[in-house]
Homo-oligomer: A and B are copies of this chain.
Amino acid sequence: MIIVLKPQATEADANEILEKIASLGLKPLYMPGVERTVLGALGDERVLRQLHLDSYPMVDEIKPVLSPYKLVSRELQAHDSIVSIGGTKVGGGNFTVIAGPCSVESEQQLFSVAEMIKSHGVPLLRGGAYKPRTSPYSFQGLGEDGLKLLKAAKAQYQLPTVSEIIDPVDAELMAEYIDCYQIGARNMQNFRLLEAVGKQKIPVLLKRGMSATIEELLLAAEYIINAGNPNVILCERGIRTFETATRNTLDLNAVAYLKEKTHLPVLVDPSHGTGVKSLINPLSRAAAAVGADGIIVEAHLNPKEALSDGHQALTADDFAKLMADIKPFVNAAGKTMK
């Protein structure tokens, strides 16, 4: 950790901090410069955070040298983690497609989509039972009835399921019905929720918050793993920027960067990442090319009747085209389509 002092800091100010550093068993360093004095602390600087050196009036800036996360880091584990969702492996050499409706609306709706995606070899079904909606007047999901339909669809089509959790209180109940939690963008820093799924055994698909930095996403994953559940899959789903032509800005830089920094699998959500149906196809190809471990997309046999996000739902024809179009890119990436 590097500590830059203010121009007016005295040697006594420096000494006070150097002693604190030494008192924690780290090696202090004194670097008086022409214009500024800089201090250093060598050792595990995560210990140093308890000193809250940025609260010292003579401290101008703290520059950490080490990343604040550890369990998710490739420096801790160099090889790729492979996470199993109900027997389907995500990560490693696999390119996994997860598909289904935004919301579970009815047996007919869910089963028809499940059958359609199954026919393309898709191994995992997504569908929301609890829906976080910006407006209180929008459809909020079927709740436990939706979970029951997901379990029935799984039984019928042998498709393990992914569904969003929005309240810690639902964690145990949901684990009886589904195979993987999804934490949505708006809840990425709902720390109680992270801890709740961290105490369960089924995996967690953790979406990046709309304005979360990559580091914050990794720290959110660290919360889950630290609570006891190592089965975390990250998901880039677009960030919020000034651009309004697309609903969000899909950040594929983040995917490549994450693949360097963490051993966890990284998926891409091109449906929310673009918010524009015609862009889902090219961005799915790009996701495969950039090194993602799969995609999660929204599909609906009759988008006009969808209760949420119909504008970005792929029809059966759209979906068939998507699956055909991404194949050569998955091959070029040296991965196996699951």
Contacts and interface: CB of A to CB of B under 8 A. Distances in A.
Contacts of A226: 136-137
A111 to B, nearest CB: 20
A43 B328 CA distance: 45
A19 to B, nearest CB: 13
A82 interface: no
Interface residues of A, number: 107
Given A167-B168, A257-B279, A291-B282, A135 B222 contact: yes
B52 A213 contact: no
Q: This chain: how many copies in the complex?
A: 4
A204 B161 CA distance: 37
A271 to B, nearest CB: 12
A303 interface: yes
Contacts of A279: 253, 256-257, 260
A97 to B, nearest CB: 16
Contacts of A328: 331-332
Nearest to A247: B253
A144 interface: no
A213 B310 contact: no
B42 A34 contact: yes
Contacts of A55: 303-306, 310-311, 313
Contacts of A308: 52
Interface string A173-196: 000000000000011011110000
Contacts of A287: 286
Contacts of A311: 52, 54-55, 59
A289 B288 contact: yes
Contacts of A4: 65
Nearest to A32: B42
B216 A134 contact: yes
Nearest to A195: B136
Given A33-B42, A135-B222, 20 more contacts: A4-B65, A29-B31, A36-B65, A36-B66, A46-B137, A52-B305, A52-B311, A55-B305, A167-B168, A167-B192, A211-B211, A239-B243, A243-B251, A245-B257, A249-B251, A252-B286, A253-B283, A255-B282, A256-B278, A288-B289
18 contacts: A34-B42, A49-B138, A55-B303, A55-B310, A55-B313, A59-B311, A168-B169, A241-B241, A243-B251, A246-B253, A246-B257, A249-B251, A252-B283, A253-B276, A259-B282, A260-B278, A285-B332, A332-B332
Interface of A: 2, 4, 7, 29, 31-36, 38, 40, 42-44, 46, 49, 52, 54-57, 59, 63, 65-66, 68-69, 75, 132-138, 166-169, 186-187, 189-192, 209-211, 213-216, 219, 222-223, 226-227, 238-246, 248-257, 259-260, 273-274, 276, 278-279, 282-283, 285-291, 303-308, 310-311, 313, 328-329, 331-333
